[in-house]
Amino acid sequence: GVTRLDGALARVEAAALGLLVLAMTGVTLAQVAARYLFGTPLIWSEEAARYLFVWVSMIGAALAVHRGGHYALTALEERLPAAARRVARAVAFVVSAAFLLILFVTGINETRQAHLQDAATLPFRMSLPYAALPVGAALMLAHLLLRAMRR
């Protein structure tokens, strides 16, 4: 049930990350080749690599939530008695969930606003790179909630 859903979501994220990193590497390699082999830099490659990096960061952060890879004060938590440890975990969950919910809502608003602007050198609206914020926040929130349901 919940564990399988969390794992399936993580597999989709890992596949997306692989494709995004491959695209980012290809764009960067093309930029280097164009500049040094042909003497003509690609005007769009730096912008494309930057937007790909934003997507990699947000999806990677979601995958890190799934794997429990984000920074935590476990040394402090381990020193607490069991009851206080449960309270600390609950507080951390609520604060994290609230932050991600705020990031999600703010990201949607910013993405809507960015849709009014074109990318500088690429043929799409700025809502495409900005969409990484609400998508990443939603994925992180999903993993956080699914992890809480497993416990």
Q: What is the pTM of this model?
A: 0.91
pLDDT in tens, 142-151: 999 999 998 7
Contacts 24+ apart (CB under 8 A), 24-33: 24/49, 24/52, 24/53, 24/56, 27/52
Classify residue 67 as exposed, middle or buried by CB count within 10 Å of its CB (0-12, 13-18, 19+).
exposed
pLDDT in tens, 42-100: 999 999 999 999 999 999 999 999 998 877 767 778 889 999 989 988 998 999 999 99
* Residues sharing a CB contact under 8 Å with residue 80, sequence separation 6 or more, in sequence order: 88
